[in-house]
Amino acid sequence: MRAVEKTVFVRFAFGAGMALAGVAFVETALYLGFRPLAPVGIPGVGMFVGTALGGVAGFAGGIGVVTLYGLLNWAYFSSRFPEFYSTTFYLWMWITVFTAIVLTILLARPRLMRLASAEAELATRRRYEDALRQSEERLQVIADNIPALVSYIGADERYHFCNRVYEDWLHMSRKLMVGRTVREVWGAERYALFKPNIERAQRGERVTYEYVISEGGVERHMLGNYVPDLDVGGKVKGFFVMVSDITALAMARDELRKEQARLESALDGSSVALWDTDLLTQRVYLSEAWSAIIGAPRAEMTTTTDELVGILHPDDVDAVKRASLEAVKGLRSNYALEHRVRTRAGEWRWIISRGRVTERDASGRALRMIGTNVDITDRRRLEEAIQSAAQMDVLTSLANRALFDERLKLAAARCRRQGGQIAVLYLDLDNFKQVNDSLGHAAGDALLKDFALRLRQSVRATDTVARFGGDEFVVLLEDVKESGNALSVAEKIIADARQPLSIEGREIVATTSIGIAYGTGLDEENLVKRADAALYQAKGAGRDCYRFAVSA
């Protein structure tokens, strides 16, 4: 309703505006010295225009302005139009003329509006038809220059559109093809090849499939794509067809498969596992050797990068991701890293993984990465055993002097950086020589092992317990908040050492003496010496006790 009122008001205003334009014309003529015969002539023409375009509402607006202008001149400015106001004849003449013209316009207006609307509609239709024809021509040009078979097939399996490639293939004019069925164009044998997928497309499925046809004794590998064309209700009206010749691609793919088979044959006799990653889909192909590494049934497998990350040792995840990202971004030419993976049985195995990006797109984005995985668990175990022998005491499995010195340097550096202090406890067994001489070396070794175990149980996991040789032991305490902490540890060690040990049916008590030295990380070289000197003070004080070193 409001829209209708708005439309009426606009027409009314239009009619009034046209009449006012006529008034402005009359006033301008008077100003320039001309003498119009009547005040309503030119405004009346504006009224006619308003009536023709605005209908009754336009007429109402126009006649209102004309009437007001005429009355205004009669009341105040009649001298400007003396002939018009001298007699009522002119007034009635103008009223009669206006009435006749307005009635004529109002009666003719619907027909004229229909004619104008029809003409406008016809012009619009012609523009749309021209645009549609140009669009179809452009589409035809595009389709003709696509190196593939492009067409549209209706629900009745008849061709409605096809590009020029069909003419090159079938040596048949497009005019002859359009309107014919697929069977008529390709023949019964090839139609039987197409029919199952045509039926799928007519059921509303998007179909992509490969097939082989023979043309002039030469096989062609084709990739067909059928896209259903659905109406508003979801019913299939037909389907679009695009068929590409992928013979070169198929040959390259077959050659790649042969090359891959040759490579896998070469790798079958080794423990080298081949991997191939599609970086767009994150899918990873792994050869049979990989299944042997993780303890799975021997077979090729396809997995994802997320699944492979899931079997990485937690401590290795960040390093593997960082190395992979650097290789993908081109920051390093090759990817090479040793890390651990979990087998199906839950065991951790070491592998060395090597690879490189083998394919990038035009913008440099990595698309494909290929490499190998080799099980190096045995090698790592051997290396760890060698390293352990170099840093550990063979008898007690405690740190040796070399490892202790290394950890002391690191602890001193942390102490200097973070503040606080460290403490060194230097110990030996008071009665070790007596046990060793009376019961033999086996008993002495048993005593050393037992004492080493008690020491480990008396300190934190972050502290270091080392054996320097014979019955000499050293304990490194880090992050010592106050002197009482080291004192508590020394008292616990002395109390534990007083507990008897049964060796060859005899109970032996081997007490210990301890020298304690504190440091702030600036004197780690003298810290052990000061603790050793304090140990001799403890022995001189009667043993089975501890003494503090004099501050440096």
Residues recognised as catalytic:
471
CA atoms within 13 A on the CB side of 32: 8
Give CA–CA dist 65/48, Å, rounded: 12
CA angle 180, 181, 183 (to 5 degrees): 125
CB 245 within 8 A of CB 222: yes
Identify the three-state secondary structure at position 546.
strand
Name the nearest CA neighbour of 475 among 531, 519, 418.
531
Q: Which residue has the tokens 């092992």?
A: 449
Alpha-carbon dihedral angle through residues 129, 135, 138, 142, given to the nearest 10 degrees: -140
CA angle 380, 381, 386 (to 5 degrees): 95
- In this structure, the strands spanning 512-519 and 546-548 are parallel
CB 447 within 8 A of CB 435: yes
Which residues are CB-neighbours of 135 under 8 A, at least 6 positions away?
none
Angle between helices 483-497 and 441-458 (to 10 degrees): 140
CB 407 within 8 A of CB 476: yes
Give CA–CA dist 475/489, Å, rounded: 10
CA atoms within 13 A on the CB side of 166: 22
- DSSP letters, 452-488, are HHHHHHHS-TTSEEEEEETTEEEEEEEEE-SHHHHHH
Tokens of 258: 């042969």
Beta bridge partners of 359: 368
CB 548 within 8 A of CB 516: yes
3-state secondary structure 224-255: EEEEEEECCCCCEEEEEEEEEECHHHHHHHHH
Give CA–CA dist 162/181, Å, rounded: 12
Tokens of 322: 């960082």
3-state secondary structure 104-133: HHHHHHHHHHHHHHHHHHHHHHHHHHHHHH
CB atoms within 10 A of CB 368: 13
